């Protein structure tokens, strides 16, 4: 058996084969194993290519982790990842006092007002990321915490990203839900947790590469061969079978034949390396697949503590860095000296663009300069640095990728002895547990199972017929989808999306709370202003409110009473307004549907 790629998917396949007593020939282009989940060792400093949490809902995947590394080699870590904006840290999910202190009273009031405006006058049609998020969080909060980072990561304007990605990526979360969770502390455990907010995870002492280096050693001990620094030149196929791969290592070319093949290499490259070439329409589909690339600038600082987070998101549009990892906070074993810190500055780019093409020295200087510009560390504290580039880190979901995948899947489906697994192998932006599961099922397919690997992590349920032996594994495929990241797709052009959104149901509670908060804050702020202003006539201002609000006076206590009354009355008015609006729209939609049904019936009768 030949396995192309020694990342999580490829090594998992080799490991499962080894447990079945079958040897594999594993081919890795890089000089180290682990793929994007590898750990780099630079002068005793260990760092990831992006942080990799060990969290899964699939017991079979977790079992492999525990088989390979002992409980002493795994650390249980609490997640702390905040947004860094305007030289202030903001908790995610939202904590009202933290947000108020960071944004200020005036800006917080404007954010609530912006949210209220979005509820009254939503942007239509709601067919892109910008409209979707601003309709649920308000334009001001969208610009503060969503726009900059999203555009840094994906390299495309937010208004060109499909709304479906936002709906999947931020499912179940809005300004109101964030406030509710923060105030009531609900959803901290159980199935109701928003999928992006898992608050604890396992982590190997010296990074994820520790796992994959150990697995590589284990499979070699059991008879498999793992070759690194080896390039696949061609993949020979005839009829409906793959026959061999031709590899090149240090200028030496060799052909490796096998009965079964598993590929984790980028899907575009797989098609490009076929010999003879794939049909023109398949090559064209493969060539249309695109990728977002990634580089890490690791900086070693002469400071013991910089910030307590595992990682932080940088929402400052004035710098290019998108995220910063603090590897010592993932594990103290990642640095050789506890008086030092290793930060990983992550830059999202396209292979060959200006950022990617810079020299390592230029990138290290850029990282040190941006670290000082955002106020996290001084340039003089940076003692050393290195750069690691990771091409094809993220498959891009543009407006052509779905059609391209259909063409490629149809073609590969005719080749009975090659399976594609993993992130790049399937052109799917998923976590390592998904990659591992696809590899495990691919090995089962070699021995008679009939798993559809493309259905792993599909949003819909897994529909393949199930034997009793497979029930437990497949029942977890739906839950696996909840832990996977989503990738933006370009905005699809649909004629009816605006019409559907225009008649969307208004959230009565959200609208009522937003209106109540605005009214309450206006009364509270106006009263406090008069108290601070003072003067002989201070008691006469706003005196009419005391006629309606029992106990209200122009005082600090009165300000709180006024806030409560204003919130209550505005809440009731807002809820009633939203209820009536929904009722009227519902009645209109019902009448419209009835009319369509009558017309359809008339056409049916006229046909005869």
pLDDT digits (tens, 9 = 90+) for 536-559: 555 556 667 777 787 888 888 888
Determine, yes or no, domain membership for 166: yes
Measure CA 156 to chain center. 16
Distance CA 562, CA 548 (A): 10
Among 166, 197, 228, the domain boundary falls at 197
Q: In this predicted model, what pLDDT tens digit does every residue of 171-191 receive, in sequence order?
A: 555 666 666 655 555 444 444
Is the predicted pLDDT of residue 102 greater than 60, yes or no?
yes
Q: Does the structure show a pLDDT above 90 at 463?
A: no
Return the pLDDT at 595: 63
Report the pLDDT value the prediction gives residue 160, as an integer from 0 to 100.
83
**Per-residue pLDDT tens for 30-68?**
999 999 999 999 999 999 998 899 988 889 999 999 999
The β-bridge partners of 326 are: 343
Distance CA 564, CA 567 (A): 5
**Picking from 140-144, 156-160, 527-531, which range would have the lowest pLDDT averaged per residue?**
527-531
- Asked if 45 contacts 336 with a C-beta cutoff of 8 angstroms, the reply is yes
Write the DSSP symbol of residue 155. Answer: S
Domain check: are 58 and 9 in the same one? yes
458, pLDDT greater than 60:
no
106 within some domain:
yes
Q: What is the pLDDT of residues 205-254, one digit of tens each?
A: 999 999 999 999 999 999 999 999 999 999 999 999 999 999 999 999 99
Residues 95 and 229 in one domain: no
Q: Is residue 341 within 8 Å of 326, Cβ to Cβ? A: yes
* Residue 62 and residue 32 share a domain: yes
For the chain, give the percent of residues with pLDDT over 70.
81
Residue scoring higher pLDDT (549 or 354):
354
Q: What is the pTM of this model?
A: 0.74
Domain span at 183: 81-197
CB atoms within 10 A of CB 250: 6
134 within a domain of the structure (yes/no): yes
> Does one domain contain both 66 and 122?
no
CATH number at residue 317: 3.90.660.20
pLDDT value at residue 177: 62
Q: How far apart are the first and last CA of the chain?
A: 63
Distances (CA, A) of 398 to 466, 472, 561: 33, 34, 53
pLDDT per residue as tens digits for the range 261-279: 999 999 999 999 999 999 9
Q: What is the pLDDT of residue 39?
A: 96
Query: For residues 422 and 7, is the Cβ–Cβ distance under 8 A?
Result: yes
Q: Do 119 and 178 reside in the same domain of the chain?
A: yes
- CB contact set of 307 (below 8 Å; sequence gap of 6+): 89, 326, 376
Q: What is the DSSP string of 116-129?
A: HHHHHS--SS--BH
Tell me how far the alpha carbon of residue 164 is from its chain's centroid. 13
Q: Mean pLDDT across the stretch 82-88?
A: 86
Average pLDDT of the residues of the chain: 84
Domain final position from 197, 231, 258: 197
What one-character DSSP code corresponds to residue 26?
Answer: E
Structurally, how many domains does the chain consist of?
4
**Which one-letter DSSP state was computed for residue 105?**
H
One domain, residues 384 and 406: no
């Amino acid at each position: 058996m030949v396995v192309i790629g020694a990342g999580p998917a490829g090594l998992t396949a080799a490991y499962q084969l080894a447990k079945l007593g079958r040897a594999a020939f594993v081919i890795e282009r890089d000089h180290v194993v682990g793929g994007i989940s590898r750990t780099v060792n630079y002068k005793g400093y260990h760092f990831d290519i992006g942080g990799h949490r060990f969290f899964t809902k699939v017991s079979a995947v977790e079992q492999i982790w525990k088989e390979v590394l002992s409980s002493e080699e795994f650390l249980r870590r609490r997640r702390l990842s905040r947004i860094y904006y305007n030289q202030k840290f903001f908790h995610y999910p939202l904590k009202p006092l933290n947000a108020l202190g960071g944004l200020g009273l005036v800006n917080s009031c404007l954010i609530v007002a912006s949210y209220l405006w979005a509820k009254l006058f939503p942007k239509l049609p709601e067919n892109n990321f910008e409209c979707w998020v601003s309709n649920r969080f308000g334009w001001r909060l969208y610009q503060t915490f969503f726009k900059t980072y999203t555009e840094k990561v994906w390299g495309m304007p937010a208004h060109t990203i499909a709304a479906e990605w936002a709906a999947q990526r931020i499912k179940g979360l809005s300004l109101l839900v964030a406030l509710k969770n923060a105030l009531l502390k609900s959803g901290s455990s159980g199935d109701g947790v928003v999928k992006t907010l898992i608050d604890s995870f396992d982590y190997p002492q010296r990074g994820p590469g520790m796992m994959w280096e150990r697995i590589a050693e284990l499979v070699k001990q059991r008879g498999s061969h793992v070759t690194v620094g080896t390039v696949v030149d061609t993949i020979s196929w005839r009829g409906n079978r793959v026959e061999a791969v031709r590899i090149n290592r240090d200028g030496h070319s060799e052909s490796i034949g096998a009965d079964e093949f598993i590929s984790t290499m980028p899907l575009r490259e797989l098609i490009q390396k076929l010999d003879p070439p794939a049909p023109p329409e398949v090559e064209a589909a493969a060539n249309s697949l695109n990728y977002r690339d990634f580089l890490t600038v690791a900086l070693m600082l002469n400071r013991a503590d910089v910030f307590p987070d595992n990682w932080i998101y940088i929402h400052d549009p004035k710098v290019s860095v998108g995220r910063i990892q603090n590897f010592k906070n993932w594990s103290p074993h990642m640095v050789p000296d506890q008086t030092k810190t290793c930060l990983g500055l992550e830059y999202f780019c396209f292979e060959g663009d200006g950022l990617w093409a810079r020299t390592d020295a230029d990138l290290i200087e850029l990282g040190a300069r941006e670290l000082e510009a955002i106020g996290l560390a001084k340039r003089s504290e940076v003692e050393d640095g290195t750069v690691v580039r990771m091409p094809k880190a993220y498959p891009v979901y543009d407006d052509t990728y779905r059609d391209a995948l259909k063409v490629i899947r149809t073609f590969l489906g005719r080749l009975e002895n090659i399976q594609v697994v993993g992130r790049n192998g399937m052109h799917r932006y998923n976590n390592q547990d998904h990659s591992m599961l696809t590899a495990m099922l691919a090995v089962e397919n070699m021995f008679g199972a009939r798993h559809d690997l493309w259905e792993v992590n599909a949003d819909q349920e897994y529909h393949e017929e199930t034997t009793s032996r497979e029930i437990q594994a497949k029942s977890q495929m739906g839950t696996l989808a909840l832990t996977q990241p989503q990738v933006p797709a370009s905005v699809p052009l649909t004629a009816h999306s605006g019409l559907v959104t225009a008649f969307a149901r208004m959230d009565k509670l959200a609208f009522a709370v937003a209106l109540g908060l605005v009214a309450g804050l206006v009364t509270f702020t106006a009263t406090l202003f008069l108290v601070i202003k003072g003067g002989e006539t201070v008691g006469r201002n706003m005196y009419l409110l005391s006629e309606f609000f029992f106990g209200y006076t122009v005082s600090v206590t009165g300000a709180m009473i006024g806030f409560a009354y204003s919130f209550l009355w505005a809440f009731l008015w807002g809820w009633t307004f939203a209820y009536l609006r929904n009722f009227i729209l519902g009645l209109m939609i019902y009448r419209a549907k009835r009319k369509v049904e009558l017309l359809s019936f008339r056409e049916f009768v006229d046909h005869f």
